[in-house]
Amino acid sequence: MRVISALALAAGLAACSSSAPHSTPLPLPEPDRAYAVAAPPDTSTGGGAVLKPPDCAPALVHGTAVTRIAADGVLGLVTLHATGCAIETDPSTIRLVGPDGKLLDIPVSAGNLTNPAGSKRPDIAQYAGRLVMGFAWTGSYCGPPATSVRVTVLFRNVLVPLHGPSPACRKEASSSTLVPGVLKEPGEAVEPAPIAWRALRARLVLPATTGEGPPPLVVVLTNSGKAPVSLAEPCPDYITTTSVAAGRGHGNVSVYGGGGDLCTHSLIVKPGTPLTLKLGTLPFPAFSDLPRTKLVSGDPITVTWSMAGVAEATATAHIR
């Protein structure tokens, strides 16, 4: 179950700035929200059970698959749908098939495992009978084109026609890998985080003290590598979690989960040039699984900012 009020964070993506211009020798690509990298799962709320319909027979499952050029290879989306039944599948079963009907010789990789992208409730999409799965096809590829995607449904293979580009051939031999993404409802971010994002470091900036109002949310990204890192192809979703620990033994912890994306600007993080993201204001926790307790001066507010491929950033402020 999604936290609807958390969408205020996405709407609060007011501006993005850095200590230097974002110019590069080539124009930055326009980010495409449809191919966004999924955020790590939001652990602040659980959600209720969903009634599971009968499983879909593989013959009843239909789908489409498309690719789009990315900073490293291409990004892919596989959409599956059926009527009145549950589609039991998993992104880890995605494989690429050539024009002769045989699997292409492309190794499968776990990709960037730093704070990996995830899906909190894949069952919702599976039981609804309409879902989308992401994948990245990275590196250089010089072999036959991929004409379809193979996925496994109830231990049977289903072929889905594939349209779109393959990674560019930059060497005499292929050196590409297939990186499965995650499974969610259509319209959600499902791509895996690029390997290049492992060079990024995040720092969360909060005021030292705050009242029971919306504190500003500022994240500073730095690049520890030697090459610029694009946040446009793909662009990322992010998650924030705010914990308020009412101290002195007079209460419990309130938790508020929220999120947004960085898909409104073509961002790039250069080595030696921090990128400051001004993400508007962070709504103060207004609900909890437990009754809200009165906060007193000195109670800590801990905020965690989380983007797939980058280690979490945490900061603490205190109630005035």
Distance CA 175, CA 104 (A): 12
Nearest to 315 by CA among 306, 307, 181, 237: 306
Q: State phi, psi for 4 to the nearest 5 degrees.
A: -65, -40
**pLDDT value, residue 213:** 59
Distance CA 275, CA 28 (A): 15
Reading the chain (320 residues) residue by residue, the pLDDT tens digits are 333 233 333 333 333 433 333 333 345 578 999 999 999 998 766 667 788 999 999 999 999 999 999 999 999 999 999 999 999 999 999 999 999 999 999 999 999 999 999 999 999 999 999 999 999 999 999 999 999 999 999 989 999 999 999 999 987 667 999 999 999 999 999 999 999 999 999 999 988 777 665 677 899 999 999 999 999 999 999 998 887 776 555 555 667 778 899 999 899 999 999 999 998 776 665 544 445 556 677 778 888 999 999 999 999 888 77
**pLDDT value, residue 300:** 81
The 10 Å Cβ neighbour count of residue 267 is 21
Cβ atoms of 319 and 212 closer than 8 Å = yes
Distance CA 38, CA 121 (A): 13
CA angle 218, 70, 62 (to 5 degrees): 110
Residues 6+ apart with CB under 8 A from 25: none
**pLDDT value, residue 216:** 78
**pLDDT value, residue 50:** 82
Distance CA 50, CA 105 (A): 38
**pLDDT value, residue 247:** 58
